Structure 1
Amino acid sequence: MNENILGIIAGVLTSVSMIPQLLKVLKEKNADDLSWVMILILISGLSLWVWYGFLKNELPIILSNAFAVMVNIILLICCMIYKNK
């Protein structure tokens, strides 16, 4: 398998992995089961991957991780809004 295709598939899967959780939080307006510390650590790691992608000039790494950062920032905002509400 072409390594670029493998990287794109991996990026898509990891990027969309938190969308079901985000949709559940938005639907139920409840984030009591989420750890905001875990989300902050995940956003930090994903942001470093974006930076690494820029350093290596690798668009698949940049795009997939930037999308994941956005999803997780939205999840963090929901966590702040809905936690213990």
Structure 2
Amino acid sequence: MKVVSFEWKDAFGNGGWFDRDELKAVVEDVDLWSYTTGFLVKKTKRELIVCTTWQPPNECHRMKEKFCNIHKIPMTWVRNYRVLSEAK
């Protein structure tokens, strides 16, 4: 299992959900990059699939556990990709 870090053009950083055409327009217009670290699930020429964790906000006092998110990101949205560690 590889641990990777990368920056990607995060159209969801503004808290909105978009359909396919709206998402494409937002990604082209917005210069918002998110730094992400996670476990590499799969990397192809077209996409990067990464498993990351998410901690609920502090106001969710009863929810202490972390949840797993799977990100499927087009490689055209990714920059500064690197492997941090690799399990043998």
What TM-score results when the alignment is normalised by the length of structure 1? 0.23
The structure with the largest helix share of the pair is 1
The structure with the largest strand share of the pair is 2
What TM-score results when the alignment is normalised by the length of structure 2? 0.22
